[in-house]
Amino acid sequence: MQNREHSLREHCQQTRRYFFELGGMAAAAWAASPLAAADAASDPRLRKAIEALEYLTPVERAYLLDKGKANVAKLPPERLREIGLLPETWSLDVVPDPESDSSVERPLSRAQGNALDWNGLMKVAEKHAVRFLHLCVCTNGADPYHMTLWEGAPLREVLWLAKPQANIRRVYYQSYHPDGVAPFQGSLALGQILETPPGQTPVVLAYKMNGQVIPASHGGPVRVVVPGAYGSKSIKWVQRIVLTNNYRANDSDAELNNDTESPLKTRARFINAPKESAAGEPVALTGMAQVGISGLAKVQYLVHSQKEPWPADDPDWTRADWKDAAILSPPTNWGGGLPDGKLPAGANGMDPKTGKPLEWPVRFAIVHWAALAPGLAAGSYDLCCRTIDLNGIAQPMPRPLLRTGVTAIQRVTLAVKG
């Protein structure tokens, strides 16, 4: 947990002018917000907190979780070369399941000497490369691991190279694994890979993070990324894909009591929530909202005196005095190590002429929010934050159950000194 918290703190560094360059609809929304009414731009505390926000996470600060115990992150280049985890030695099998009656006309495999290699993947990418923003977060993670601009080739284009024929209902994909260790794997219905609704992003074999080739220390040189899914679907160090007629999901993470089919949820977290403040002084709050499958309509915050007990019949605090926070506009500097902080041309969901998002917030990514809470009397308070999705449903609903993604309302203590 300490590593995750450290990763989140480091994620929130250095993007400048995020708050001050609002335009169009975003500016209008800001002008109507409670933050503008409080003349927040003139408050140095909130200005400083907003200036510290960063949107994309630099690759070197992205947190990596190795559930499959591949122990790749610290291997020397010589060993990475031997095990096929450098671009020049990477290859991918695309084969039928030997335990089912799946039919594949042209299997790709190392054994036959025709496995897909890096150059082959780049040839696919020349025609079909996809770039998109997507959050990486664990199903049971309180904080996100990183916010990333991914680039990859649609997995369907690679599957077609193997010429699948018949009796295929599901695809599972496996990571590199040391001898004696089972491969960590994820699985998807074949239809989810082959067909993508208009305007949405396909499942990809990703080879770049924030414009850089994915290093082995972060799941590269190639990893699967499944838009709209938690990180358990996005298998790192992918080296083998199996086409099967077995209709059952067989994700390794399911063995860890996780719902691997659950899509991303919408929820809010604090980034800056002071532990102490002086009586009567406004409190600057910033945070991030994870935009799940149901989108995002509002972010709200709550200040509750700890002298007043929470009502036992309202565990989700639906009757509390929630206040609207301001959802910040798209950044002019996306951070993450991108040249000049600019997104590359052709990123999904971006206007090709202006480079700005066609809609904001971007689904399956994050958005930053800010609020200036009024001054308080001396005492101890709970600070809370929550989202309301585009269906009008407030966090932690509609899916509050554990193992399907964390949506518990975050609560931190603020001590106001007299």
Q: Of how many residues is the chain composed?
A: 418
Q: Which regions of the chain carry the CATH code 3.90.420.10?
A: 65-256
Which pLDDT score, from 0 to 100, does residue 175 have?
97
For residue 282, how many C-alpha atoms fall within 13 Å in the half-sphere facing its CB? 18
> How many Å apart are CA 254 and CA 139, to the nearest integer?
11
Q: Classify 36 as helix, strand or coil.
A: helix
Write out the residue limits of the CATH 2.60.40.650 domain(s) in the chain: 2-15+23-52+265-417
pLDDT, position 42: 57
What is the predicted pLDDT for the residue at 6? 44
Q: From CA 231, how far away is CA 141, in angstroms rounded?
A: 10
Cis link prior to 398 (omega < 30° from 0)? yes
Residue 44: what pLDDT? 85
Q: Which amino acid is at 125?
A: A
d(CA 283, CA 106): 63
Give 65-256's CATH code, choosing from 1.10.260.40, 1.10.10.10, 3.90.420.10, 3.40.50.720: 3.90.420.10
Residues 6+ apart with CB under 8 A from 83: 75, 89, 176
CA distance 416 to 390: 35
Which residues fall within 8 angstroms of residue 223, CB to CB, at 6 or more apart?
Answer: 205, 206, 214, 234, 235, 236, 237, 238
Residue 200 tokens, joined? 């949405």
* Largest CA-CA distance found in the chain, in angstroms, rounded: 76
Q: Which amino acid is at 303?
A: V
pTM reported for the whole predicted model: 0.89
CATH number of the domain at 2-15+23-52+265-417, out of 3.40.50.2300, 1.10.10.60, 2.30.130.10, 2.60.40.650?
A: 2.60.40.650
Burial annotation 282-293 (CB, 10 A radius, 16+ → b, else e): bbbbbbbbbbbb
For 391, the 3-state DSSP assignment is coil
Sequence-ordered strand ranges (E) for 11-107:
91-96, 103-104
How far apart CA 269 and CA 12 sit, in angstroms, is 12
Q: CA-to-CA distance for 65 and 52, rounded, in angstroms?
A: 26
pLDDT averaged over 10-residue windows placed end to end, the chain, 418 residues: 42 34 38 44 80 94 92 95 98 97 97 97 98 96 95 98 98 95 95 95 98 96 98 96 96 89 97 95 96 98 94 93 96 94 93 92 97 96 98 97 93 96
Cβ atoms 336, 11 nearer than 8 A: no
Query: 154: cis peptide before it, omega within 30°?
Result: no
How far is it, in rounded angstroms, from Cα 283 to Cα 371? 8
Type of residue found at 335? G
